[in-house]
A and B are shown apart, each in its own frame.
Chain A
Amino acid sequence: MTTIEAPRDERDLRVVGRSLPRVEAAAKVTGSIAYADDIVLPGMLFCKLLRSRHPYARVLSIDTSAARAVPGVVAVLTGHDLPVNYGIMPTCEDEHALEHEKVRFVGDPVAAVAAVDEETAQAACRAINVEYEPLEAVESIEQALIPPDDEPLHDYAGPANVHRLAALEFGDVDAGFARAAHVREDIFFFEGNTHLPMEQHSATAQVVADKVTLWSSTQDPHYVHRALAKVLDLPMGKLRVVAAPHGGGFGGKCDPFSHEIVVCKIAMMTGRPVKCTLTREEVFYTHRGRHPVLMWVRTGVDADGRILAMHFRSALDGGAYGSYGPASTLYTGALQTTTYAIPAYRFEGARVFTNKAPCGPKRGHGTPQPRFALEVHLDKLAADVGLDPVELRRRNFVKPFSRTVNWLRITSCGLEEVTNRVLEASGYARRERRRGHGMGFAVSSYMCGAGLPIYWNKMPHSECVVNVGRGGVTLYCGATDIGQGSDSVLATVAAEELGLWPGDIRLVTGDTGLTPVDLGSYSSRVTFMAGNAAREAAAKMRALLVGVVADEEGCAPEEVEVRDGKVGRMTFEEAATLAEERFGVLSAHGTYTPPEGIGGRYKGAGVGPSPAYSYSAAAVDLNVDPGSGEIRVNKVWLAHDIGRSINEMAVRGQVEGGVYMGLGEALMEAQAYRDGLHRQPSMLDYKSLTFLEMPEVETILVETHDPEGPYGAKEVGQGPLLPVIPAVVSAVHDALGVWIDEIPVTPDKIVRALDARAKGKEARYGPKRFPDIPYPDLVKVAPPDAAPAAL
């Protein structure tokens, strides 16, 4: 376990907490920063992938002879050249860089061509003749539950096309329901959607001597490094993965991808650098985005509206491959308990394979869907028992420094405060009540990094080195800035400790050959984990410099101030020179490993634990046209428990961006299919909010100073998206009295719900049944002593 120095008095903080421009901002506004596709190497080849046009088919033969004969073609690959399977999760390594036996979605890569230019590579791909035997495609969750006529998508699937099942019970749920004064059930559906990063994925590989280097638009070079070593059968020491400056990820660049593996293989075969950049259409089919999830929830409350028991079921449409699926499945059931003290909780989850682009992690990974269902369900429950929906929530809020029924350790928790601040700012309680205008409110919580790594090991999750020398201060860390601002966080932390400014720190990040490990930019882990590692490294360097200066000046180390570019009476450079004279190379390191005991010990307990949780509350004000169902969002208030802002400007940017993405998901974004084809694989047809639709956002930051976060900081990259979606649904109900139990909330659904009400039916649009799923026997887990049941 990492020992963390007690925070210095916050009055001492000189850089942390300010609003400062990002360290790489000038390079971005001048266009001089080189993203993955901006890399050009001498003699470079260009690669294109041939992808399946069938949603599901056996590959009978692949004839590449015509492609090889195209002038300018240098290499043609098929799955025979890359036979080793891989996948991000050790339990479902079900992918091949190129499939040569079976294709499972439109877009599944089957062959690759490298040529002197992209156009030639594309033409040669068209010259490859693949003979397919189409199989009956699985298009829905329901269909995936029926034994297929042909064969399941994967050998390890089953029953039918089920990928993964989970069934957990914490406490006595039946007894809780038996004691309940009121019990309610609801069914919800959340359609899938995609990340839509502005930058298409791109990767370039180069081989020098026997060493392979890959530059890629990846969020986690470490996991790509591992996958490459396996598939290419090379020692990790012969491989280097560099995360290029990143044009947006949101979770979509967290898996190891075919194009990354293929360019390495071709570079190894030809000895020439190779680049592969996906087209926008390919990005839509590469996906790994938000799972479509069908959900059923049943909650029992006592006469005062206190939750006695909850039973939550989810069914995830996983698409064609495993990806992060086992984790995604468990995430749909893990964080219900981090906002509400649920004394008895049962979760049953299932993920199925279908012949669509694989789903994976997107901002909030597996939790926006159940958060939408849970919050809307509680709104309805509150109405049932005649309580104000905010009051019902308050009565069930978790307490700071408590333990949930599923064993998650809660530390700092600003849930009450974010609620109060949003209500106060938005005037929710005093809102104007008129037809067509509504306000909605919801809360949420998210992790500050996954408590466990994706593959089991006992090594640190994040490591940093700070070197000081005649080249100045350099910080090395595997963390990857995907636009969220992690480079600025690291520079700010180092600057704070060393009495410098962020711009004084040179950064080397996201490079498996040069930097110590950081697991990557996923699960909102970087500020908390890499921030702590950077702080430890920089604090050690500070102590070293202070010691040397104290000796020189003949005073106690406590008397040496480190600030404004000075160490005691010396300049930073003088102090560094003195220290180098005495010690030689000045290098300090720091590591972060999450503490033991933050989660349970049951099977499935690996998903959900985090060293801390952020809390958010949202209020949404909107107008809905009762005739057309068209929604105009007027304003969103978002209060977020950030622990402490490392850089307030960056934090606000993450809140505003999270609200934006939440609104897009709530109102319009959908990765939907017809006959295996994406319905809208372009940026014009796949709707996202422009300047014109984006409402004003009022950001309220609440600082709870987490005892283990760096200077008390927690995450902000993912949490603020979560409450926005249910708050939109709630606001639509407030405006028109209809429940839209399916995301996105599009005008046609509102009109249909209004029509249903006009015909005397339920004033609702949404799924009507939850399928019979062969969940396994429940794993019964005794709640921890400190769980609400025992309080």
Chain B
Amino acid sequence: MEVPDGRELLRLSVNREDRLLLVRSHTTLLEVLREDLGLTGTKHGCELGECGACTVLVDGTPQLSCLLLPAQVEGTAVTTIEGLARGSELHPVQQAFVAQGGLQCGYCTPGMVLAAKALLDENPAPSRDEIKEALAGNLCRCTGYASIIEAVEEAGRMLS
């Protein structure tokens, strides 16, 4: 069967699972994750790449899924917040956010956790300035950021 005009056949690897999808060509990765794959842990905050709530990892690098077309990530490994824990065991970054109170309403948290994981994968013992720099594209309106910084530091200690 032919792919109709305006649609695209995609093969994505999301959270270590291969998915075959037929989507409208102009839908963003964010929409595909949330609406076609039901991975609603990835949040939309601004639709314009300004807030970081929709951050996912593409081959381990934080990317804004609201600014990506799914075709751009074919052949890569996409990780969303749902792909971080191993079964019921939270990833150390998730554990640290819980333990340090690094979240309140929690809406920015998936993006924040993934951006923090990417940072710690590259730099397990970042300075406070390095943490701030790495997470500056992720907005949070609840916490005042301090507890998030502490969570990232704690996660770094747990990972190393």
Contacts and interface: CB of A to CB of B under 8 A. Distances in A.
Do A and B pair up? The answer is yes
Contacts of A653: 101, 104, 142-144, 147
B13 interface: no
Contacts of A24: 106
Contact of A29 (B109, B133, B138, B141): B109
Contacts of B138: 691
Contacts of A628: none
Interface string A200-215: 1000000000000000
A605 B98 CA distance: 43
Contacts of B135: 691
A483 B45 CA distance: 16
A721 B139 CA distance: 19
A649 B135 CA distance: 22
B22 to A, nearest CB: 14
Nearest to B84: A30
Contacts of B47: 279-280
B105 A199 contact: yes
Contact of A246 (B44, B53, B85, B105): B105
Nearest to B132: A691
A442 interface: no
Contacts of B104: 22, 483-485, 653, 657
Given A660-B145, A691-B131, A32 B41 contact: yes
A779 B92 CA distance: 62
Contacts of B45: 198-200, 280, 683
Contacts of A482: 105
Given A21-B101, A38-B40, A40-B38, A30 B90 contact: yes
B50 interface: yes
Contacts of B105: 197-199, 246-249, 482-483
A28 B85 CA distance: 12
If over half of B's interface residues share one DSSP class (helix, strand or loop), that class is named, otherwise mixed; here it is loop
B141 A250 contact: yes
A261 B81 CA distance: 33
**By CB atoms of chain A within 10 A, which of B41, B144, B147, B149 has the most?**
B144
B7 to A, nearest CB: 13
Contacts, number: 169
B159 interface: no
A429 interface: no
Interface in B45-99: 45-48, 50-51, 53, 80-82, 84-85, 90, 94, 97-99
B51 A683 contact: yes
B41 A199 contact: no
A247 B43 contact: yes
Given A247-B107, A691-B145, A31 B80 contact: yes
B120 interface: no
B110 interface: yes
A656 B41 contact: no
Interface string A1-45: 000000000000000000101101111111111110110100000
Interface in A433-485: 482-485
Interface string B108-148: 11100100000000000000000111011111111111111
A247 B106 contact: yes
Contacts of B139: 198, 683, 688, 690
Interface in A618-638: none
A650 interface: yes
Interface residues of B, number: 54
Given A21-B99, A29-B90, A29-B109, A682 B43 contact: no
What's the interface size class on A, roughly?
35 or more
A452 B5 CA distance: 60
A33 B94 CA distance: 14
A28 B143 CA distance: 14
Contacts of A697: 144, 146
Contacts of A696: 146
B28 interface: no
A40 B35 CA distance: 9
Contact of A659 (B24, B98, B144): B144
A122 to B, nearest CB: 13
A691 B144 contact: no
Contacts of B39: 31
A33 B81 CA distance: 12
A650 B80 CA distance: 27
A650 B140 CA distance: 16
Nearest to A656: B144
B145 A30 contact: no
A661 interface: yes
Contacts of B53: 198
Given A198-B43, A659-B144, A29 B48 contact: no
Contacts of A247: 43, 105-107
B25 to A, nearest CB: 12
B23 to A, nearest CB: 12
A692 interface: yes
A652 interface: yes
Interface in A669-708: 682-684, 688, 690-692, 694, 696-697
Interface in A244-278: 245-250
A250 B106 CA distance: 14
Nearest to A38: B40
A653 B97 CA distance: 13
A688 B98 CA distance: 25
Interface in A88-139: 119
Contacts of B38: 40
B50 A682 contact: yes
Contact of A28 (B109, B132, B144): B109
A31 B65 CA distance: 15
Contact of B136 (A25, A30, A40, A690): A690
Contact of A652 (B34, B44, B99, B101): B101
Contacts of A34: 40
A659 B143 CA distance: 9
Given A31-B110, A199-B43, A484-B104, A656 B147 contact: yes
B51 A198 contact: yes
Contacts of A245: 106
A196 interface: yes
Contacts of B149: 691
Interface in A482-503: 482-485
Contacts of A32: 41, 82
Contacts of A33: 106
B46 A280 contact: yes
Contact of A660 (B85, B94, B144): B144
A24 B109 CA distance: 13
Contacts of B34: 38
A691 B101 CA distance: 16
A716 to B, nearest CB: 12
A198 B107 contact: yes
A28 B48 contact: no
A31 B54 CA distance: 11
Contacts of A26: 90, 94, 98
Given A198-B51, A199-B105, A692-B136, A29 B142 contact: no
A-B pairs, top 7 by smallest CB distance, nearest first, are: A31-B41, A483-B105, A28-B106, A247-B107, A660-B144, A656-B144, A31-B81
Given A22-B98, A196-B141, A697-B144, 17 more contacts: A22-B103, A29-B81, A29-B103, A31-B39, A31-B80, A35-B40, A35-B107, A197-B107, A246-B105, A247-B105, A247-B107, A653-B104, A657-B142, A660-B143, A660-B145, A683-B46, A684-B48
7 contacts: A29-B110, A30-B82, A35-B107, A199-B105, A485-B104, A656-B145, A657-B142
